[in-house]
Structure 1
Amino acid sequence: MDLKFSVAGRIAKPVDEVFETVVNPDRLSHFFTTGGAKGRIETGAVVTWDFHDFPGAFPVHVVEVEKDRRIVLRWGSAEKAAAHDPANSRETVVTMTFEPLDDGRTLVRISEEGWSQTQEGLKASYGNCEGWTGMLCAMKAWLEHGLNLREGFYK
């Protein structure tokens, strides 16, 4: 069994606006990265995301960006890798897709994979599934209603 998940939600905004909200660090910092985002998400870039609930800036490697359609990221997992790994960490791959719907809304799907088939891998995958679900909810509330759901939620 591969440990992977996919979460999705519909946002009542056009695909170009939703996509820009994810790739633009100023916009992403309004609803997702409670400690701020640095760097625009572009193919080959390494950006940083900081969260009050997980202090310290996380490096996020941008593998691929297809404007208004898809983003592929690679980043560190909370799961520790095997002891022989010099960095002693494991990375996962996150794929975000953006699909314009006939009614003007955008379907956003976020998938992540790459954990080991261990109890630690399972726990780390559940934590990230929770985080991405929260991100989709927060993005919907911010884009559609100007509300920051994460403000004060974690700290």
Structure 2
Amino acid sequence: MNTADFEIKTNIQISKPAAEVFEAIVDPAKMSNYFIAKGSARLKEGEQVMWSFPEFEGEYPVNVKKIEPGKLISLTWDVEGTPFLVEMILIPRGDNATKLTVTEKSTAAEQPSVQWLKNNTEGWANFSACLKAYLEYGINLRKGAFDFISGDK
């Protein structure tokens, strides 16, 4: 990474085993409880899935690059014509906790990259917090949180 590039990195500890955290990310039925409205399929290495979000129109392609069950999810997704690499690393912390690190790889430190950095840093931090709330407490923090974007009341 060039020192003039931006990279997003978020970390959170979730009080669940790595296998359970992993499943909540790769299974679209579970992911729809905290992040997406709908996913076309389970995340599988070498395949493309489509994600839709409750607050945005359309579907977004996600290309799965690498999967290591319980340890790593690597994917690219297209942001306004540019594919960005996202890596999710799961590190067990004892028997019943997992450190999740989400990194969205670098983009040039220039406009419109500053807006990308702002939006996606908020997005991945939100993803992590919503995943934690869903797995630990069974609640969907995202539900209704972004109705103001789509104009819903």
Counterpart in the other structure of 2:46: 44
Counterpart in the other structure of 1:107: 99
Counterpart in the other structure of 1:5: 8
Identity of aligned residues (%): 32
Deviations 1:55-97, CA, capped at 9 Å, x for gaps: 211000000001110011111114xxxxxxxxxx111100000
Deviations 1:15-53, CA, capped at 9 Å, x for gaps: 1001000001100111100x2122111100101111122
Stretches of structure 2 lacking an aligned partner (at least 5 in a row): 148-153
Structure 2 counterparts to residues 53-72 of structure 1, below 5 A: 53-72=55-74
Stretches of structure 1 lacking an aligned partner (at least 5 in a row): 79-88
Counterpart in the other structure of 2:151: none
Of stretches 19-28 and 115-124 in structure 1, the one that deviates more from structure 2 is 115-124
Equivalent-residue separation in structure 2 for 1:91 and 1:49 (angstroms): 15
1:5 Cα shift? 1.6
Equivalent-residue separation in structure 2 for 1:130 and 1:48 (angstroms): 21
1:134 Cα shift? 0.3
Tell me if the contact between 1:37 and 1:50 (Cα under 8 Å) persists in the aligned partners: yes
Letter in 1 for 2:122: E
Equivalent-residue separation in structure 2 for 1:17 and 1:118 (angstroms): 38
Count of residues paired in the alignment = 144
Letter in 2 for 1:43: E
Deviations 1:109-131, CA, capped at 9 Å, x for gaps: 00002423212012112201111
Equivalent-residue separation in structure 1 for 2:133 and 2:32 (angstroms): 14
Compute the RMSD of aligned alpha carbons: 1.1
Task: Tell me the secondary structure at the aligned position of residue 30 of structure 1.
Answer: coil
Deviations 1:96-155, CA, capped at 9 Å, x for gaps: 000100252000000002423212012112201111100111011111111100111111
Letter in 1 for 2:9: S
Q: Aligned to 1:76, which of 68, 75, 78? A: 78
Q: Aligned to 1:30, which of 13, 33, 37? A: 33
Counterpart in the other structure of 2:83: 91
TM value normalised by structure 2:
0.90
Equivalent-residue separation in structure 1 for 2:52 and 2:43 (angstroms): 15
Task: Tell me the secondary structure at the aligned position of residue 4 of structure 1.
Answer: strand
